[in-house]
Amino acid sequence: MSLISPACRDALQHWLDGLGALAGRSENTQTAYRGDVTEFLSFMTLHHAERQGLKALERITVSDMRAWMADQRSGDVGARSLARKLSAVKSFYRWLAEREGFEPTAVLSTRAPKFTKKLPRPLAEDAARAMIDTVEVQSTSDWVAARDVAVVTLLYGCGLRISEALSLTGADAPLPASLRIIGKGDKERVVPVLPAAQEAVDRYMQLCPHPQAPDTPLFRGVRGGALNPRAIQGVMAKARMQLGLPATATPHAMRHSFATHLLSAGGDLRAIQELLGHASLSTTQAYTAVDTARLMEVYNRAHPKA
């Protein structure tokens, strides 16, 4: 028997439908939110020893919220994860309170646990270039080597997520001066394409043995299907071991490197936000902290000690 009442289950589905249709939240985000709120509602059922209908949800107290938070922490849920879960619950409650006409103060006033935000871990400029060069020599097949170089060059040269690079199709080639990318939450952005990226993709296409069509994936696996992101993760893992780079030198680190190196060169934060497709400037501002940290590292190395 489900721990969640039919009324709550229906309300949850309506809220999630609204997130997808109106807020443009991705399927992955909706799935995460569904899990978080379902877990919360199930806890409240067990906590009160009865299934919680919509009216019961209106009566949730500060004490109930503390009990849920304590239960989460006792289950080894970290501060970052708990903050995310609480954010999902609050979002659901704002919607539910507006729809049902009740005061959600007990839930909305619950404070999220404090945690230190992880800073992006970019590569140094010479390491990013070395990564592209080293990726090229990991395969004995010329076309696979050219493919891997083309993908990694797009990550670093255009700031693409690996999912965005692998979503390109034959219709996108040869690469134009700018690409229209559909990113997280179906948000669209336009990114300029450097000549190096165009050349890398051109070389891959010349060598690729699989026929290209406008509706086929641009980047292909060995058997001709869509390239699996694990292939790029794997080839970068081999390259970083050869270069002595840390485990943080992943495909996503190339995107971080793109943003950090642009900022170091004097790039405008708002422009970088647009290029990365960040919904919030605060997400992009994390790169200013990285830049400052690197500046202080250079300062501490170079400054004469007393």
* Residue 270 confidence (pLDDT): 65
* Residue 213 confidence (pLDDT): 93
Residue type, 3: L
Handedness of CA 261, 262, 268, 273 (dihedral sign): negative
Residue range(s) of every CATH 1.10.150 domain in the chain: 6-108
Dist. CA 184–CA 29, nearest whole Å? 9
pLDDT by residue (tens digit) across 191-228? 888 899 999 999 999 999 999 999 999 999 999 999 99
171, 194 Cβ separation under 8 angstroms: no
Task: Find all residues with CB under 8 Å of 291, minimum gap 6, and list them.
Answer: 260, 263, 264
Q: How far is CA 295 from the centre of its chain?
A: 26
- Three-state SS string over 76-103 comes to CCCHHHHHHHHHHHHHHHHHHHHHHCCC
Sole residue written with tokens 């292939």: 231
Q: Which two tokens stand for residue 69?
A: 């938070």
* Residue 299 confidence (pLDDT): 42
Report if pTM > 0.95.
Answer: no
* Residue 73 confidence (pLDDT): 87
Residue range(s) of every CATH 1.10.443.10 domain in the chain: 125-301
Q: What is the number of other CB atoms lying within 10 angstroms of the CB of residue 209?
A: 9
Handedness of CA 167, 169, 171, 172 (dihedral sign): positive
Q: Which CATH number fits domain 125-301: 1.10.10.10, 3.10.20.440, 1.10.443.10, 3.40.1160.10?
A: 1.10.443.10
Domain 6-108 CATH class label: mainly alpha
Ranges of the chain whose pLDDT falls below 50: 1, 290, 292-293, 295-296, 298-299, 303, 305-306
Element at 189 (helix H, strand E): strand 188-192
Residue type, 213: A
Dist. CA 246–CA 240, nearest whole Å? 7
138, 239 Cβ separation under 8 angstroms: yes
* Residue 244 confidence (pLDDT): 93
Element at 265 (helix H, strand E): none
Residue 244: what are its φ and ψ, rounded to 5°? 70, 30
Cα distance between the two ends of the chain: 71
| Beta strand 188-192 pairing with 178-182 | antiparallel
Element at 178 (helix H, strand E): strand 178-182
Q: What is the number of other CB atoms lying within 10 angstroms of the CB of residue 191?
A: 22
* Residue 261 confidence (pLDDT): 74
* Residue 287 confidence (pLDDT): 53
In the DSSP assignment, the letter for residue 123 is P
* Residue 265 confidence (pLDDT): 62
* Residue 43 confidence (pLDDT): 92
* Residue 74 confidence (pLDDT): 87
pLDDT by residue (tens digit) across 140-182? 999 999 999 999 999 988 888 899 999 999 999 999 998 888 8
Tell me the catalytic residues.
161, 184, 252, 255, 278, 287
